[in-house]
Structure 1
Amino acid sequence: MHFSSLSEFLAMGGYGFYVWLSFGLSWLCLVGIIVTTRIKHRTLLSDLRNKQARESRRLAAQQMENTL
């Protein structure tokens, strides 16, 4: 499809509103998925670090208890 001007391209033959709304919503959903995935990834890593620290503290306390 060939458009002779930018306004004709944006109008998309009278369907511009629906076309650009669809593109916008699709991009919004994709960005939302990326953001939530990164947040969950950071939360998971933080939880794993906390669990490992807790486990190492528990083992250290258990060894101290065994030496007494």
Structure 2
Amino acid sequence: MGGDAAFVWGSYGVFALFIVWNLLQPMRERRRLLRLLKARRVRDEARNSSINTAYGGE
């Protein structure tokens, strides 16, 4: 490659890392959001349950 091998293979490596990041990051973000929504739902259900109990609800 005329002395450009390090640059070419380095570019391929950076590109490969970029592709892997673009594949994994949305999955990680989705997992994080699902955990957040589940925690929020549990918290809201607990809050609603304690409110109903305090006011003689179900």
User: TM tier, shorter chain?
Assistant: 0.7 to 0.9
Gaps of 5+ in 2: none
- Distance of 1:18 and 1:44 partners within structure 2: 38
Between the aligned partners of 1:59 and 1:51, the Cα distance in structure 2 is 12
CA-based RMSD of the aligned residues comes to 1.8
- Residue correspondences, number: 56
Cα shift readout 1:39-58 (whole Å, capped 9, x = no counterpart): 22211110100001110111
Where has structure 1 moved over 4 Å in runs of 4 or more? none
TM-score by length of 2: 0.74
Which of 13, 16, 40 is residue 27 of structure 1 equivalent to? 16
Pairing 1:11-22 to 2, within 5 Å after superposition: 13-14=1-2, 15-22=4-11
Bigger Rg, which one:
1
Quote the sequence identity (%): 23
Aligned to 1:6: none
Give TM-score, length-normalised by structure 1: 0.65
Mapped partners of 2:30, 2:22: distance in 1: 12
